[in-house]
Amino acid sequence: MKKKFKVFLAILSLVAIVASLSACGGNGGSASGSGSASGSGSGSGSAEATGLKICIITSSGIDDGSFNQNCYEGIQAFVAEHSDCTVTDIKESDYNELVPTVDRVAGDYDVFVLPGFNFTAIGDIAAANPDKYFIVVDSTITDSQGTALNAADLGNVYTMTFSEQEGGFFAGLAAALTTKSNKVAVVNAMAYPSNVNYQFGFMSGVNYANAHYGTTAEYVELPSYAGVDVNGNNVGGNYIGDFADEATGKVVGEALINEGCDVLFTAAGAAANGTFTAIKEASDVYVIGCDVDQFDDGAAGDRNIILTSTLKVMDVNVQKQLEAIYDGTFVAEDAFLGADTDSSSYVSEEGRQQLSDDALAKMAECYELVKDGTIVPASNFNGYTPTDFPGLK
């Protein structure tokens, strides 16, 4: 695993060379959204004395019902236990302005929670602000020239990347074990590594179910919405092209339903709201939620469209790091989190999913095999493919 992760770091460093040219062009740029604070008090370095001033910066807001919101909920849980701490959210919809926004407001806060791959190139900012803390979700970091950096060397950075392919695998299993039309698909936002991981993991899960449980599910791709990953490779799939484009999310969802798909897995942030709408307007079609339990978002009259949801436990991990900063036990690290740390899972709670008992039993069996490393689903960069990965044969 360590060897594969080093390869992942190296690839990210090449990617960031391009990203940093536009994202780290100086101190300019202004946030397009407004900040909102909760809690009271002011932060100024000494957590015990004055609390922490926390800032979360996102491209599509903290109310996306998924990725960003789950990170924000981790902050909220922390602030609820520490009345001397505050949180401010900043929305910057221009991806190229996300890193400059961090630079611009670096002096105003003690801790930055930065969800998403677009924050890769914050290494120089972290180095220039050694008294600030940076919690980066879904990416490791580089300097402005694209050179990969270790969080431990900087001392004030904690990055958490997740095994999204595991969540995708569980979604693929659920889809293959449930579909009646034998056609299933993923609706993604952009072909960032985490999203491609979901796609390849989903395909791995479908193939595993077909090989081991006798299902005959087909993974459907729309050529006009194929994705190109950060290395310029065509990865196929169904990519909306943006995390906030609900209109295109609906168009892609409708197109897949017209192709006969009756189970879709969404990994598209707020853009997935459009896909949810398409499914609610259809009949006998389910969706698998992503990152958090989305059952409440699935209400559609007298039915619910959520089959289950994959879980990427960001809130708990964000809260843990805030607690460590607050009590002085913070350790800078590049953490890779998956089922083996209970950070990747799916909803199995009664009343929050609609899986059959047989599907639940098979998924529980596979969860243990993923957790102990017997099954290693394919991801964007782990060297495996959805048709050739450990545990498939």
Dist CA 28 CA 25 (whole Å): 8
Buried b (16+ CB within 10 A) or exposed e, 26-57: eeebebebebeeebeeebeeebeeebbbbbbb
State yes or no: pLDDT of 390 exceeds 90: yes
pLDDT greater at residue 39 or residue 254? 254
> By the 8 A CB rule, do 199 and 175 touch?
no
Q: How many CB atoms lie within 10 A of CB 145?
A: 14
DSSP code per residue over 38-70: EE-----S-HHHH--EEEEEESS-S-SSSHHHH
The pair of structure tokens assigned to 44 is 């100024």
- Neighbour-count burial of 253, counting CB atoms closer than 10 A to its CB (0-12 exposed, 13-18 middle, 19+ buried): buried
N residues, the chain: 393
Instruction: Output DSSP code: residue 137.
Output: E
β-pair partners for 157: 134
Q: Which residue carries 């849980």 as its tokens? A: 77
CA-CA-CA-CA torsion sign (375, 376, 378, 384): negative
pLDDT at position 262: 99
Q: What pLDDT was estimated at residue 93?
A: 92
Q: CB-based contacts of 223: which residues, under 8 Å, 6+ apart?
A: none
Strands 344-346 and 306-312: antiparallel
- CA 164 – CA 377 distance, rounded (Å): 10
Nearest alpha-carbon partner for 46 in 328, 261, 353, 294: 328
Q: And the tokens for 159?
A: 């990055």
How far is 8 from 268, CA to CA, in rounded Å?
A: 22
Which sequence spans correspond to the domains of the chain?
Answer: 53-162, 164-311+344-372
Which CATH fold would you assign to the domain 53-162?
Rossmann fold (3.40.50)
What are the backbone angles phi and psi of residue 336, rounded to the nearest 5°?
-115, 120
Q: What confidence score (pLDDT) does residue 302 get? A: 95
Q: Which residue has the higher pLDDT, 386 or 12?
A: 386
Tokens linked to 209: 């179910």
For 74, phi then psi, to 5°, come to -65, -40
Coil, strand or helix: which one is 161?
strand
Q: Is pLDDT above 50 for 30? A: no
pTM over 0.85: no
Which pLDDT band holds residue 50 (cuts at 50, 70, 90)? confident
Give yes or no for residue 279 having a pLDDT over 90: yes
Percent of the chain with pLDDT over 70: 88
At the fourth CATH level, the homologous superfamily of domain 164-311+344-372 is Response regulator (3.40.50.2300)
What's the pLDDT tens digit per position in 87-102?
Answer: 999 999 999 999 999 9
pLDDT at position 32 is 35
Q: With 90 as the cut, is the pLDDT of residue 221 above it?
A: yes
Whole-number pLDDT of residue 7? 40
What pLDDT shows up at residue 57?
98
Confidence band of 16 (pLDDT split at 50, 70, 90): very low
Among residues 213, 199, 200, 183, which one has the least CA distance to residue 386? 200
Tell me the pairing of strands 157-162 and 333-337: parallel
What is the pLDDT, as a whole number, of residue 47? 42
81 CB neighbour count, 10 Å cutoff: 12
DSSP string, 234-279: EEES-B-S-SS-HHHHHHHHHHHHHTT--EEEEE-GGGHHHHHHHH
40: confidence class by pLDDT, cuts 50, 70, 90: very low
pLDDT in tens, 113-167: 999 999 999 999 999 999 999 999 999 999 999 999 999 999 999 999 999 999 9
Q: Is the pLDDT of residue 2 over 60?
A: no
* Of the candidate ranges 61-65, 75-79, 387-391, the one whose mean pLDDT is the lowest: 61-65
Mean pLDDT over residues 362-390, rounded? 98
Query: Bigger pLDDT: 17 or 233?
Result: 233
DSSP secondary structure letter of residue 385: B
User: Residue 132's closest CA among 44, 48, 51, 59?
Assistant: 44
Predicted pLDDT at 210: 99
pLDDT greater than 50 at residue 54: yes
pLDDT (0 to 100) of residue 35: 40
If one compares 10 and 232, the residue with the highest pLDDT of the two is 232
Q: What is the pLDDT of residues 292-332, one digit of tens each?
A: 999 999 999 999 999 999 999 999 999 999 999 999 999 99
pLDDT score for 66: 84
pLDDT cut 90: percent of the chain above it: 85
Topology agreement, domain 53-162 and domain 164-311+344-372:
yes
User: Which pLDDT belongs to residue 14?
Assistant: 40
